[in-house]
Amino acid sequence: MKPLVSVIVPAYNEASVLEAFHARAGAVFERLDSYRWELLFVNDGSRDATQSVIDRLCARDPRVGSVQLSRNFGKEIAMTAGLDHARGDAVVVIDADLQDPPELMEEFLAHWRDGFDVVYATRIERIGETWAKKASANLFYRLMGRVSQVDIPRNTGDYRLMSRRAVDALLRLREQHRFMKGLFAWIGFPSRSVEYRREPRASGNTKFNYWKLWNFAVEGITSFTTAPLKMATYFGFIVALIAFAFGVWIIAKTLLWGDTVRGYPSLMVTLLFFGGVQLFCIGVLGEYLGRIFVETKGRPLYLVQDYQPARAERGDAAADQAAARPSALEVS
């Protein structure tokens, strides 16, 4: 049989762009007719007409399937839900906003046929994004490259193709705090980069503001390195050493020249400085402790409200097994 390629599309309030995305992706499917295709939309608790559009596409195109989550769990979890339900020999993850061109999948598949398990898209230009966003993204990737034990490619988003064995390896990682860019890199396997220019959104607004991007960066750093804990230790040691040296200087100055200890302002500055250092270190510990607390609960990553497998693939045994999977996944 022809190889099956599953395309996972997480969607949150993307009703205005889904039809356009389906048209462009469908054109790629028609051109690459040496493959079977499964287009699986994951509705991550959208509040607009996203699910209605997806249902319409499912009725019109037998290659389209749908996973509707019970609420908004976040993009990282939505991608995981899609990967759980994907049945393809190769799996592509792509956003619905058309910033990442579906036409690039043709090059992905060519490298997959050459033996690469992971083919990821690297942005050489980010059209329509502000200078501040580009600078902060570049700073984040540089920082992750220095502190992380995993080599996370720079300027690389979630748009990528993975082989079946890469997907199966990734699905063994069930942690709650899912920094997917790091997990993609952690599994290893032969990988290849494909460069492209990222376009502006075709419609709608981005779901990431600067506060969410900051939390996303904290998530990435604390998920893949203990460097902040080491930094707090070194910082505390250096401050204590400086404080000890300053104390020796005060004692020596008093003994030699009879100088009295200065007053209230210097005392308050010192106390506030040390208090700030202590609170900073406690905050770093709290970030890691909070992650331990969440992981020990053992809650499922997500709950599925409704699952519609692609009708084009329902006839085989694998599709029948997949249709029964959501109930099991709800407690995984």
- Residue of 183, 202, 169 whose CA lies nearest to 98: 202
Q: What does each C-alpha distance from 58 to 69, 110, 184, 241, 311 come to in angstroms?
A: 16, 28, 29, 66, 8
Question: 128 and 147 in one domain?
Answer: yes
CB 122, CB 194: distance < 8 Å: yes
If one counts the domains in the chain, the total is 2
Say what the pLDDT of residue 324 is.
45
- Residue of 91, 120, 110, 111 whose CA lies nearest to 32: 110
DSSP E strand boundaries for the chain: 4-11, 36-43, 64-69, 90-93, 118-126, 156-163, 191-198, 304-308
- The whole domain housing 144 covers 4-210+300-329
Residue 215 lies in a domain: no
pLDDT, averaged in runs of 10, over the chain (332 residues):
90 88 90 90 89 90 90 88 90 88 90 90 72 65 66 80 91 82 83 81 55 59 64 71 71 66 60 71 75 76 87 56 44 42
Question: 246 and 314 in one domain?
Answer: no
250, containing H or E segment: helix 227-257
Residue 222 lies in a domain: no
Q: What type of residue sits at position 263?
A: G
**What does the chain come to in residues?**
332
Q: What type of residue sits at position 101?
A: P
Separation of alpha carbons 312 and 200, rounded Å: 32
Say what the pLDDT of residue 320 is.
45
Residue 201 lies in a domain: yes
**pTM for the whole thing?**
0.68
Question: 174 and 88 in one domain?
Answer: yes
Question: 304 and 293 in one domain?
Answer: no
Q: Which two tokens stand for residue 115?
A: 């033996």
Alpha-carbon dihedral sign for residues 249, 250, 252, 253: positive
Question: 65 and 147 in one domain?
Answer: yes
- Residue of 93, 72, 71 whose CA lies nearest to 82: 93
Reduce the DSSP state of residue 119 to 3 states and report it: strand
What's the order of all strands across the beta sheet hosting 191-198? Answer: 191-198, 118-126, 156-163, 90-93, 4-11, 36-43, 64-69, 304-308
Question: 89 and 15 in one domain?
Answer: yes
Question: 200 and 312 in one domain?
Answer: yes
Question: 57 and 175 in one domain?
Answer: yes
Separation of alpha carbons 294 and 194, rounded Å: 36
State residue 207 phi and psi, 5-degree precision. Answer: -90, 0
Strand partners, 122: 156, 195
